[in-house]
């Protein structure tokens, strides 16, 4: 397969490098020039001969601009596989535009972060037709360990933002519970031992514990260096709230989590820190 890869940043570059072990890859990025990938001078050049063009871009506006440039350049019958995290509406608009141009589109945002991209262990959540999903599945097998077909176009993004809304909410709940436990005189190790094996358990507590020195190794043990940066969590929570408004879904906890991460990132020095740094944030506060 000839694969074009557009957006060679923290995630895109290692994903492209894994694909390059099995396929012909040509890449493009406006800034990044990673070693080990043949580079073209424009997105349209990358798109011209590709059987599949993969995009891994920062947001929906950039994705729309890149799609407008590459779709007319792509071969009839080629696939646009977008792995960025963007709003559901953009993913659906891109698919409609692709189909109108004689292409197929799959939205397949990822979970697993930079480590998963490097090690080829990402999870993909995909939206698009069953045929399109089947056609690009061999690429998921190289870049990841699991791919779930979530339904029609946009449903991959829907799954991603619902998952990350749960993650943001449970991380905040875990952090505020640790601080309440501290103030009640409960040892953090005892708190972890109970909650991680009781009904309060979650991925945030069990796999990514926000308390340093407790549970498995996590960014808390590395001075809250990301990991998954707070501003990326804020991006995903904002996408969840855009979708909730559009779908008229009542999501008060997701709304509260978005507001708290916004405050943390914009007013409280949270930018650049892992999203589990909510724990020291709560530690430094009182109730009123």
10 belongs to the binding site for ligand NAD (CB under 6 A): yes
156 belongs to the binding site for ligand NAD (CB under 6 A): no
234 belongs to the binding site for ligand NAD (CB under 6 A): no
Residue 65 Cβ, how far from ligand NAD at the closest point, in Å? 6
Measure the CA–CA gap between 89 and 182, rounded to whole angstroms. 43
Number of residues that bind ligand NAD (CB under 6 A): 26
207 within 8 A of 216, measured Cβ to Cβ: yes
32 belongs to the binding site for ligand NAD (CB under 6 A): yes
232 belongs to the binding site for ligand NAD (CB under 6 A): yes
User: Among 1, 2, 9, 137, which residue sits at the site for ligand NAD (rule: CB under 6 A)?
Assistant: 9
113 belongs to the binding site for ligand NAD (CB under 6 A): yes
40 belongs to the binding site for ligand NAD (CB under 6 A): no
Only one of the segments 53-61, 89-97, 145-153, 259-267 lies at the binding site for ligand NAD (rule: CB under 6 A); that segment is 53-61
Q: Which residues carry out catalysis?
A: 160
242 within 8 A of 154, measured Cβ to Cβ: no
User: Among 53, 54, 57, 277, which residue sits at the site for ligand NAD (rule: CB under 6 A)?
Assistant: 57
CB-wise, 93 or 114, nearer to ligand NAD? 114
- Provide CB contacts within 8 A for 23, sequence distance 6+: 1, 2, 3, 139
228 belongs to the binding site for ligand NAD (CB under 6 A): yes
Only one of the segments 27-35, 94-102, 189-197, 245-253 lies at the binding site for ligand NAD (rule: CB under 6 A); that segment is 27-35
Measure the CA–CA gap between 42 and 217, rounded to whole angstroms. 41
Only one of the segments 23-31, 74-82, 93-101, 209-217 lies at the binding site for ligand NAD (rule: CB under 6 A); that segment is 23-31
């Amino acid at each position: 397969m000839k694969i074009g890869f557009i957006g060679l940043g923290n995630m895109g570059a290692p994903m492209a490098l894994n694909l390059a072990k099995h396929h012909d890859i040509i890449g493009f990025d406006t800034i990044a020039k990673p070693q080990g990938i043949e580079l073209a001078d424009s997105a349209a050049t990358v798109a011209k001969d590709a059987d599949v063009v993969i995009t891994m871009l920062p947001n929906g506006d950039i994705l729309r601009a890149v799609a407008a440039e590459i779709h007319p350049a792509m071969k009839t019958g080629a696939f646009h596989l977008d792995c960025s995290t963007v709003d559901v509406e953009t993913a659906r608009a891109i698919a409609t535009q692709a189909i109108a141009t004689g292409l197929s589109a799959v939205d397949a945002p990822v979970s697993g972060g930079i480590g998963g991209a490097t090690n080829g262990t990402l999870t993909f959540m995909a939206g698009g037709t069953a045929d399109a999903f089947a056609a690009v599945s061999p690429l998921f097998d190289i870049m990841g360990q699991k791919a779930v077909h979530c339904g029609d176009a946009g449903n991959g993004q829907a799954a991603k933002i619902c998952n990350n809304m749960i993650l943001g909410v449970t991380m905040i709940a875990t952090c505020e519970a640790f601080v309440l436990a501290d103030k009640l005189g409960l040892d953090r190790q005892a708190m972890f031992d109970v909650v991680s094996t009781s009904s309060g358990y979650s991925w945030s507590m069990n796999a990514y514990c926000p308390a340093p020195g407790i549970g498995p190794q996590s960014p808390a043990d590395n001075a809250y260096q990301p990991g998954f940066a707070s501003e990326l969590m804020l991006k995903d929570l904002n996408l969840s709230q855009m979708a909730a408004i559009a779908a008229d879904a009542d999501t008060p906890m997701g709304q509260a989590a978005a507001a708290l991460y916004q405050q943390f990132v914009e007013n409280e020095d949270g930018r650049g820190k892992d999203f589990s740094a909510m724990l020291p944030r709560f530690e430094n506060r009182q109730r009123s």
